[in-house]
Structure 1
Amino acid sequence: MNSAALFDLDGTVMDTPAAIVASLTEMITPYGVAHPEPVLRAQIGRPLDSIVDTLLPEATVVDRDEAKQRFRVSFSAQTLPDARHLIHPGVSELLEHLRGNGVAIAIVTSKITPSAIELLLAAGIREAFDTIVGHDQVQYGKPHPDLALLAAARLDVAPAFCVVIGDSTDDIRMGIVAGMPTVGVAWGVSEAAALTDAGANLVAADLNSLTAELDRMLLKTGTSA
């Protein structure tokens, strides 16, 4: 395998933002804290530790641990039973298409690895990915390059021959700093204009355009864009 596709998970592969917002609300409510939905949505794609810092800045160490556990229990309850239906339409076919053409595939996510694997197993698509790289495996998460570079190293693919696919500006910035081409997807948490402003080589409006662009970048003409 000499090329690789590095996918973000929440909002890109799976339609989980609504469950994340609901779980964040459940996480902070016992502490008498409330934040408007735009503030909660802005946390999507960030590591949970950083989210707790932002939403519960006065929390004690014990409160922080309890809050994170409350979030994870709530999120699992909302997503795992129906996980197969949370896969964005066409994503499974895209993954199969890429694998069939020899492209290595990774998940690079701000989730901790066990949580990401649990969700992918419930959705029935764990085996579509050659490696899962979660926030717990690196020192610095998105938008730092660590997640993407670790995935590339595991797949034995040079960064220039990897493409980062994500729905947030941090995904795009991570890919750029890692020396990788980037494709934003317009069905997640960030607007297309924000993804373009962050430096995405392209923003795909739908799965058809994403498939066509990945074919061009990974299968036909390399990753130059």
Structure 2
Amino acid sequence: MIHAVLYDLDGVIVDSRSTVIDTLQEVARTALGTTPPRQQIQHLAYLPPVRALAALGVQHADEIFDAHFDAAYARHAHKAALVPGITAVMWRIRMAGCRQAIVTLQRRHRVNLLDLGEVHDLVDTIVCFEDAPPKPAPDPIWLALDRLGVATDQACFVGDTASDIRAGHAAGVHTGGAVWGYRDAGALTEAGADLLLLEPTDIVAMALGRPPVTVGYGLERHRAIRDQPVSGGGHHGRADIGGYGHGGAAS
């Protein structure tokens, strides 16, 4: 039986694409003197920001990140918004008696810039970058479960990137891939997601074993993705965490 649901933040609870893309574009422009195409940045937005900046051709990306990223992020944080329907799902899970937590690569001061609204009232703890070795290491998931007093076999984790999926498997929790986030179904399947979640209401079925109420999607498309077999799914060891040392912006 599931007693706790853990969530990644960016992409799963908060649609932060515009914030992350505009921040990366501003920082890259400062470093390069030219503005990288937005479409190019869109394909890199799921990466930790230091790795994204390096992929954009920024030299000494870690130093540029330290000097400019936080100020730029603060200017664009207001563009982030809660994923439609996520709070209704979290309320339903909360009312069923499950505890909830956020496990994010974001540093706490950046999380505090986001308008999370009633999500603050629905989670029991938020584990940030500085609290434990970052995903894909299992440590932040274990820390969240320790704070909640819930065993790994009584928990599930919802993520939207390969590092999320690998962290969930390494931690020993059932892990679902949120295809509304930063990465698509193919990438999440390749990472080994235990199942694919088409929309936030699918978290209800994952956590509570109850049929979700599908809103805003064609039912045939929903069933096709819901019933798609997921290959892989085995437990993964700890992956390389290169590029995460400064705190992620999109996970």
Name the TM tier (shorter chain). 0.7 to 0.9
1:87 maps to which of 82, 85, 89:
82
Q: How does 1:44-193 map to 2 (within 5 A)?
A: 44=46, 46=48, 48=49, 51=52, 56-59=58-61, 61=63, 63-79=64-80, 86-121=81-116, 123-138=117-132, 140-193=133-186
CA distance in 2 between partners of 1:203 and 1:152 (Å): 23
The change in CA–CA distance for 1:112 and 1:54 in structure 2 (over 3 A counts) is: farther
Per the normalisation by structure 2, the TM-score is 0.73
Cα deviation, residue 143, structure 1: 1.1
The change in CA–CA distance for 1:17 and 1:144 in structure 2 (over 3 A counts) is: same
Structure 1 residue runs of 5 or longer lacking an equivalent are 80-85, 218-225
The change in CA–CA distance for 1:89 and 1:23 in structure 2 (over 3 A counts) is: same
CA distance in 2 between partners of 1:58 and 1:114 (Å): 24
What does residue 24 of structure 1 align with? 24
Quick one: which amino acid aligns to residue 60 of structure 2?
Answer: E
Identity of aligned residues (%): 29
Cα deviation, residue 12, structure 1: 0.6
Asked whether the 8 Å contact 1:2–1:157 carries over to 2, the reply is no
Asked whether the 8 Å contact 1:26–1:70 carries over to 2, the reply is no
CA distance in 1 between partners of 2:129 and 2:50 (Å): 10
The change in CA–CA distance for 1:114 and 1:97 in structure 2 (over 3 A counts) is: same
Cα deviation, residue 64, structure 1: 3.6
CA distance in 2 between partners of 1:54 and 1:118 (Å): 26
Cα deviation, residue 57, structure 1: 3.7
Per the normalisation by structure 1, the TM-score is 0.81
Asked whether the 8 Å contact 1:113–1:135 carries over to 2, the reply is yes
The change in CA–CA distance for 1:137 and 1:147 in structure 2 (over 3 A counts) is: same
Asked whether the 8 Å contact 2:19–2:73 carries over to 1, the reply is no
Structure 1 position 211 matched with structure 2 position 204: yes
Larger deviation: 68-77 or 102-111?
68-77
CA distance in 2 between partners of 1:88 and 1:143 (Å): 23
The change in CA–CA distance for 1:60 and 1:42 in structure 2 (over 3 A counts) is: closer
The change in CA–CA distance for 1:39 and 1:78 in structure 2 (over 3 A counts) is: closer
CA distance in 2 between partners of 1:50 and 1:39 (Å): 12
Quick one: which amino acid aligns to residue 5 of structure 1?
Answer: V
Asked whether the 8 Å contact 1:104–1:130 carries over to 2, the reply is yes
Two-structure CA RMSD over aligned residues (Å): 2.5
CA distance in 1 between partners of 2:177 and 2:61 (Å): 34
Q: Which has the higher helix share?
A: 1
Structure 2 residue runs of 5 or longer lacking an equivalent are 211-251
Quick one: which amino acid aligns to residue 44 of structure 1?
Answer: Y
Structure 1 position 195 matched with structure 2 position 196: no
CA distance in 1 between partners of 2:12 and 2:115 (Å): 13
- SS of structure 1 residue aligned to 2:193: coil
The change in CA–CA distance for 1:207 and 1:59 in structure 2 (over 3 A counts) is: closer
CA distance in 1 between partners of 2:196 and 2:2 (Å): 24
Asked whether the 8 Å contact 2:19–2:78 carries over to 1, the reply is no
What does residue 10 of structure 2 align with? 10
Cα deviation, residue 159, structure 1: 1.5
Quick one: which amino acid aligns to residue 128 of structure 2?
Answer: G
Asked whether the 8 Å contact 2:46–2:183 carries over to 1, the reply is no
